[in-house]
């Protein structure tokens, strides 16, 4: 074992919140993951879902259906038969409160199914959905028929996902392929993974922890834990094209959402009212940026917090309340997690000069906003992915003085436009 895992004296690992010891020391050649599994395992549950969907059956079907229809009129008159088809699913979750609240993925409980939860000691309970948030793929369910509070040993200890580092050990616990209480180990492979194209539709807000701890179908909703036995993430997705590539929702993000789901049954997100765009190398050069951090404001909606704060199309937001804005995904997450009504400071680059604006965060209107963003996304034409008007603020800031035409901002490699010799920056 690596030296830092050996028993070297009376030093004990501490809970990051309370400072109290959380795991017994390993001795001899015993794996440190034994203690992790014993501490975190009792909080992990198996979630079975069952729902029914209506299908239409037209009776028996054969290669000679047309023959029957021609010679037997009663065959043509047969009414389609409606049947109920049972759809079953398996997933994982973990208990976060002695009252029986369980944290899992939205996609584990989507479709309002009948839920059965199997505990670590094989007890079974029915459960109901307290709240679910498809935009983050987080859901909270609650055990039904619980006559007394659960013991503390069955409640997961939630850690701090902001403290993890690439290379830290990680342990995944869950029920892959229905194989209950499976424990796998690996490391944190990456932090802040975004832009994943997840089969079945990925969540809008992505800030995934990537790990090579083995995760498979059925692990969804189960915990990813550290060597202190603290939950640092919710196992959520895998890369089906390869092995050793799994993704977990950071527990700090999940906790904020779970608290709102338990208290209100829904998530209220902050809203600024802008359409953000990534800063490309060309735009960074034109705006005089030293790096690609920040987001370009492509559009400011009317009568929104952004409009009232004085944000303009072409502004580049580099900091949000003192926090760096590295890209669009992180910017959206920061805004969404800000409390409605908070007064925030925006550090903005305009005309190559830095200025500070104040904005009062509003409440996200809901799905209509997401649809508007989808409609505003640029279409690809001949491989040209993005165009700018020559009289736009972005073009002017880049030193373009032409009166007519459009600026090529982005081109798809190996497309007709690329092969024709069109380049970014052409007008």
Tokens read off for 157: 């200890």
- Beta bridge partners, 114, equal 50
β-strands 138-143, 182-193 pairing: unpaired
Residue 4: count other Cβ atoms within 10 Å of its Cβ: 7
How far apart are alpha carbons 95 and 42 in whole angstroms?
9
Q: Is position 137 annotated as part of the catalytic site?
A: yes
pTM of the predicted structure, to 2 decimals: 0.71
SS3 category, 328: helix
pLDDT score for 334: 93
Residue in the structure block whose two tokens are 């960074």: 284
Q: What are phi and psi of 348, to 5 degrees?
A: -125, 140
Question: pLDDT per position in the chain (427 positions), as tens?
Answer: 333 333 333 444 555 555 545 555 455 578 899 999 999 999 999 999 988 777 766 555 556 556 555 666 655 555 566 677 788 899 999 999 999 999 999 999 998 899 999 999 999 999 999 999 999 999 999 999 999 999 999 999 999 999 999 999 999 999 998 898 999 999 999 999 988 877 666 788 999 999 999 999 999 999 999 999 999 999 999 987 778 899 999 999 999 999 999 999 989 999 999 999 998 888 888 777 777 789 999 999 999 999 999 999 999 999 999 999 989 999 999 999 999 999 999 999 998 889 999 999 999 986 433 333 333 334 456 778 677 787 776 666 566 778 778 888 777 765 667 667 788 778 8
Diameter of the chain by CA atoms?
Answer: 90
Catalytic annotation, pick one of 48, 49, 92, 107: 107
Instruction: Determine the straight-line distance between the first and last CA of the chain, rounded to whole angstroms.
Output: 61
Q: What span, in angstroms and rounded, lies between the C-alpha atoms of 285 and 291?
A: 9
Among 326, 292, 329, 331, residue whose Cα is nearest residue 311: 331
Tokens of 57: 């059956």
Our answer to whether residue 220 is catalytic in this structure is yes
Of the candidates 133, 137, 212, 315, the residue annotated as catalytic is: 137
Q: Regarding beta strands 353-360 and 384-389, do their DSSP bridges make them parallel or antiparallel, or are they unpaired?
A: unpaired
**Contact 274/235 with Cβ under 8 angstroms?**
no
Tell me which of 207, 220, 315, 397 is the catalytic residue.
Answer: 220
Q: Are 120 and 155 in contact (CB under 8 A)?
A: no
Residues 182 and 188: beta-carbon distance below 8 Å: no
Closest CA to 115 of 92, 97, 84: 92
Spatial contact of 409 and 380, defined as CB atoms under 8 Å apart? no
3-state secondary structure 202-246: CCCCCCEEEECCCCCCCCCCCEEECCCCCEEEEEEEECCCCCCCE
65 is catalytic: no
């Amino acid at each position: 074992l690596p030296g830092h895992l050996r028993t070297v004296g009376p030093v004990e690992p501490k809970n990051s919140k309370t400072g109290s010891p959380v795991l017994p020391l390993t001795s001899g050649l015993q794996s440190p993951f034994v203690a992790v599994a014993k501490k975190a395992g009792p909080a992990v549950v198996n979630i079975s879902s069952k729902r029914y969907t209506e299908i239409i059956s037209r009776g028996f079907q054969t290669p000679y259906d047309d023959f029957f229809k021609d010679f037997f009129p009663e065959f043509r008159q047969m009414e389609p038969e409606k049947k109920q088809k049972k759809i079953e699913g398996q997933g994982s979750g973990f208990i976060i409160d002695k009252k029986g609240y369980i944290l899992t993925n939205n996609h584990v409980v989507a479709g309002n199914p009948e839920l059965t939860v199997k505990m670590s000691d094989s007890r079974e309970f029915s459960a109901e959905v307290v709240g679910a948030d498809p935009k983050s793929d987080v859901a909270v369910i609650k055990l039904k028929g619980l006559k007394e509070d659960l013991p503390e040993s069955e409640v997961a200890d939630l850690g701090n996902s902001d403290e993890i580092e690439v290379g830290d050990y990680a342990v995944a616990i869950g029920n892959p392929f229905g194989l209950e209480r499976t424990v796998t180990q690996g490391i944190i492979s990456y932090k802040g993974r975004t832009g994943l194209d997840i089969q079945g539709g990925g969540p809008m807000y992505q800030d995934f922890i990537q790990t090579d701890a083995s995760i498979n179908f059925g692990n969804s909703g189960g915990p990813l834990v550290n060597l202190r036995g603290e939950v640092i993430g919710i196992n959520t997705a895998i890369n089906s094209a390869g092995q050793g590539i799994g993704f977990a929702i950071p527990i700090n993000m999940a906790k904020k959402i779970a608290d709102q789901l338990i208290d209100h049954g829904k998530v209220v997100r902050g809203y600024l009212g802008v359409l953000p765009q990534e800063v490309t190398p060309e735009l960074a050069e034109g705006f005089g940026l030293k790096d690609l951090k920040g987001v370009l404001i492509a559009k400011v909606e009317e009568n929104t917090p952004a409009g009232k704060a004085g944000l303009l199309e072409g502004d580049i937001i580099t900091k949000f309340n003192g926090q760096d804005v590295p890209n669009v995904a992180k910017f959206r997450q920061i805004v969404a997690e800000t409390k409605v009504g908070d007064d925030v400071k925006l550090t903005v680059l305009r005309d190559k000069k830095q200025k500070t604006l104040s904005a009062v965060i509003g409440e996200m209107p809901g799905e209509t906003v997401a649809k508007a963003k989808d409609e505003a996304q640029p279409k690809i034409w001949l491989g040209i992915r993005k165009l700018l008007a020559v009289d736009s603020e972005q073009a002017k800031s880049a030193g373009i003085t032409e009166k007519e035409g459009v600026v090529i901002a982005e081109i798809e490699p190996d497309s007709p436009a690329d092969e024709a010799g069109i380049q970014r920056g052409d007008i």
